[in-house]
Structure 1
Amino acid sequence: MYFGGAVLTWLVNILAGVLRGTGNMKLPSMMIVNSAICQIILGGTLGLGLGPVPQFGMPGVATGSLIAYSINIAIMSWYLFSGRGRIVPRLRGFRMRWALFADILKVGVVACFSPLQNTLTNLVFTHMLAVFGTAVLAAYGIGARLEYVLATIAFSIGIGSVPMIGVAIGAGRIARARRIAWTTGVVALIVIGGLACAAALFPDPWVRLFTDNAEAHAASRQFLRTVAPFYAFIGLASAMYFSSQGAGNVLGPVLAQTARLLFIVLGGSYLISQTAAAESFFSLTAASMMLLGALSCAAVAFTRWGPRKTGGKGRLSLASVGDK
């Protein structure tokens, strides 16, 4: 049922992206918070039953989520079509412009590989750690949950750079666009690094949220103290990825993720052949994060940003072929 209504999830994110593109970061953020609150209330009520509302189980939870998305779609659509935004969508006279689809897909298709590779990296590493038992797997899972939380914060930092860099490049101010990218990267590195180092120094409060098993607790503490400080490079890589989105070229950061995946596969295969301990795999994870951050920065540093003629009579679009 939820999958059948997945188009609502996509539409929410599309509308939020349109609003962010106009420079409005407040309303999309409020809608995300509103969505979470509505999902908890509606999903809990319909799933578990409350008062006169019968218990629908998992279909009720899915329905609550879809209703929450529909509410946000209605609010953001009203905001845009009412003229309160900086742009007003017009349905009258609408016609398909394939050149615009090409510009969107040029970034979107490549960007699709980013979450796929990230998920595949986690699956590969989980498979490698399975031989060490449930305690080590639990440690990796607990660390991954912290990474997801920090990735959300990194997203909130990085997404703000997309419209700023896009506008700067569209105006031909390439140097300004690069300053925005590096500033975003430094902020993400410091903020995520600070939070991650706090978790590494004091891992117990986070670990206790998930387990009270002594063996899993010890393995989780060791994992966080080894790996958590390097989550800062995940934040840095996320900032570089969003900056590249604003520049209209995400190939470099996506290839950086490919390199990280290959590094883990090859390094993990070597450690398996050497019957290495779990601690060596923890170090491999930390090293892969450093590699991802460094290569993502290199991608931004060495990719040329600037407007590009797409053919026709001098029409320009955002692309990464030539600084001005």
Structure 2
Amino acid sequence: MFRLAWPIVALQLLQVTYNIADTFWLGQFDTDALAAISLAFPLIFLLISLAGGFTAAGSILVAQYTGADSDTSAGRVAGQTLSFVSVLAIGLGIVGYVLTEDMLAVLPSQQETKEAVIPLAADYMEVFFLGIVFMFGFFVFSALMRGYGDTKTPMRVMLASVAVNVVIDPILIFGVGPIPQLGIQGAAIATVASRGLGSILGVYILFWTDAGPDVQLSHLKPDLGVIKDIVRLGVPTALEQSASAFAMVTLTAMIVLFAPPVVAAYGLGNRIASLIFLPAMGLGRATNTMVGQNLGAGNAERAERAVHLAAAAAAGILLVVAVVVYAFPDPLAEAFVNENIENAQATIDFSSEYIRIRAFEFAFIGLLQVVLGAYRGAGNTKTALAFSLVALWIGRVATVGVLAFDPIPLVGTIPFTTFTGYGLGPRGFWIGMALGNIVGGIAAALWFTRGTWKDAYIDEAPRGAPAGGEE
């Protein structure tokens, strides 16, 4: 399990490096641009998540067929996943580009945020959606290889992609020589170009090397039987990811009621938290593969042992991290914000408070990610959906609404807030964000002990494909 997990953690670290690079360089460029990516990312993720669930479905099926020693079926599923998700990505890119301004217009922004931040968010989103189809190749490649049990190859591809991004990001943001200063659009172009490189490398590896499942070009031709399996497993996961994205959009609609320093602190704190949660995400995805392959091989007891080990490791590691972060939040925030730009100190102060409060949830996010990974690996994607909804909408969104705002909004005198009275303002927002994973982690773990997740999803071959023969 740890051999599977460490490359996933490294890959996720590299994945976050994209966001960290944008956050760092835009934090040196302009706090309004930093706030803009805080608004843009949830809306982008909302559309990406619609296709991402089907990528996860491909990973689940490949894992179980690999465990059942059916490499041809795993290859057929991989090809169908790639072609199906690519078509979805093209459609989502078109929809996202056309609806960018409409999506941002829905956010009930505070006036200063509306004038200074929203136009920058639109610039970032439009470039991103134009290039989104070039990014999905790597998402599919990484998920399929993870299901197969090869997590090192995607890590190496991601390393090459991130290296390109780190080099060209500041060049395009600030401009060098004949290259003009593109600001936030430069950050978007750098991300799309470098991720596109990862997609090209990933597709090449799947079809023209011996790594991963045995995928043939003929496997790209639509096979309704396999597509039904992908859809059946993928829809709950797509709904889960979409619900997560919509929760982020809802929270974004709430945070923009505050002034730009609070919005920027929210985005900065989320980026830092996403970096800290990498061990949990890695162990959760390794658990997905371990459970899938062991159930495919008929070894439910070993699958359960893997879950217990991963949950203990993830919670333990993040508990140690939580103590350190709680004690020293200021250096984390200060590392990303140029103290000489406008509102820098206010952004740092709000970010430090946000990070310290969220430290209380760290161990619980480890528990939640591992248990959700177990449900997905078993093909119980509806169960994973249910507990994600509990964590996001009951534990987080509802709690933020109650704690952060008054029943009646009143313009007050607290710096950088628009609400006073009984509401806790930004601090209530931070507390609500932390409670979501605490509630979700406890609920998902208690349900897991019932043991109803232990049946494999697959039979012997993809539905609609020949069982035997070439198997």
Assess, with a 3 A threshold, how the Cα gap between structure 1 residues 16 and 195 changes in structure 2: closer, same or farther: same
Who is 1:251 aligned against?
382
Partner AA of 1:284 in structure 2:
G
Assess, with a 3 A threshold, how the Cα gap between structure 1 residues 200 and 56 changes in structure 2: closer, same or farther: closer
In 2, Cα distance between the equivalents of 1:75 and 1:14? 12
Alignment of 1:78-117 (within 5 A): 78-92=204-218, 96-117=222-243
Alignment of 1:173-252 (within 5 A): 173-211=299-337, 212=339, 213-252=344-383
> Does residue 397 of structure 2 align to residue 262 of structure 1?
no
In 1, Cα distance between the equivalents of 2:389 and 2:133? 28
Partner AA of 1:253 in structure 2:
A
Who is 1:15 aligned against?
141
In 1, Cα distance between the equivalents of 2:265 and 2:445? 29
Partner AA of 1:191 in structure 2:
I
Assess, with a 3 A threshold, how the Cα gap between structure 1 residues 200 and 114 changes in structure 2: closer, same or farther: farther
SS at match of 1:16: helix
1:159-189 per-residue CA deviation (whole Å, 9 max, x = no partner) reads 2222221110101111211221222222222
Answer yes or no: is the 8 Å Cα contact 1:253–1:295 preserved in 2. Answer: no
Partner AA of 2:134 in structure 1:
L
Assess, with a 3 A threshold, how the Cα gap between structure 1 residues 168 and 316 changes in structure 2: closer, same or farther: farther
In 2, Cα distance between the equivalents of 1:40 and 1:136? 27
1:7-59 per-residue CA deviation (whole Å, 9 max, x = no partner) reads 221111111222222211111011112111112334555676656x6448477
Answer yes or no: is the 8 Å Cα contact 2:173–2:187 preserved in 1. Answer: yes
Assess, with a 3 A threshold, how the Cα gap between structure 1 residues 315 and 141 changes in structure 2: closer, same or farther: closer
Who is 2:422 aligned against?
275
Shift of residue 219 of structure 1? 3.8
Partner AA of 1:145 in structure 2:
R
Answer yes or no: is the 8 Å Cα contact 2:226–2:462 preserved in 1. Answer: no
**Which segments of 5 or more consecutive residues in structure 1 lack a partner in the other structure?**
318-324
Who is 2:63 aligned against?
none
Q: Percent identity among equivalent residues?
A: 21
Partner AA of 1:306 in structure 2:
D
Shift of residue 6 of structure 1? 1.6
**Which segments of 5 or more consecutive residues in structure 2 lack a partner in the other structure?**
1-126, 408-420, 464-471
2:201 aligns with one of 72, 75, 95: 75
Answer yes or no: is the 8 Å Cα contact 2:294–2:300 preserved in 1. Answer: yes
Larger mean CA deviation between 240-249 and 198-207 belongs to 240-249
Shift of residue 151 of structure 1? 3.4
SS at match of 2:274: helix
Assess, with a 3 A threshold, how the Cα gap between structure 1 residues 82 and 95 changes in structure 2: closer, same or farther: closer
1:287 aligns with one of 423, 430, 435: 435
Between 1 and 2, higher relative CO (CA 8 Å, sep ≥ 6) is seen in 2
Answer yes or no: is the 8 Å Cα contact 2:378–2:456 preserved in 1. Answer: no
Who is 1:36 aligned against?
162
In 1, Cα distance between the equivalents of 2:461 and 2:214? 23
Who is 1:298 aligned against?
446
SS at match of 2:357: helix
> Does residue 172 of structure 2 align to residue 172 of structure 1?
no
Shift of residue 275 of structure 1? 1.9
In 2, Cα distance between the equivalents of 1:90 and 1:221? 51
Assess, with a 3 A threshold, how the Cα gap between structure 1 residues 164 and 268 changes in structure 2: closer, same or farther: closer
Who is 1:307 aligned against?
456
1:281-318 per-residue CA deviation (whole Å, 9 max, x = no partner) reads 443333322101112323433442213577xxx8688x
Assess, with a 3 A threshold, how the Cα gap between structure 1 residues 218 and 242 changes in structure 2: closer, same or farther: same
Answer yes or no: is the 8 Å Cα contact 1:252–1:300 preserved in 2. Answer: no
1:162 aligns with one of 283, 288, 291: 288
When normalised by structure 1's length, the TM-score is: 0.80
Assess, with a 3 A threshold, how the Cα gap between structure 1 residues 42 and 136 changes in structure 2: closer, same or farther: closer
SS at match of 2:222: coil
In 1, Cα distance between the equivalents of 2:312 and 2:396? 26
Aligned residues: 313
Larger mean CA deviation between 178-187 and 131-140 belongs to 131-140
Answer yes or no: is the 8 Å Cα contact 1:150–1:235 preserved in 2. Answer: no
Assess, with a 3 A threshold, how the Cα gap between structure 1 residues 315 and 15 changes in structure 2: closer, same or farther: closer
1:72-111 per-residue CA deviation (whole Å, 9 max, x = no partner) reads 3343333333442253222358753322222222222211
In 1, Cα distance between the equivalents of 2:196 and 2:175? 21
Shift of residue 194 of structure 1? 2.2
Partner AA of 1:175 in structure 2:
E
Answer yes or no: is the 8 Å Cα contact 2:394–2:436 preserved in 1. Answer: no
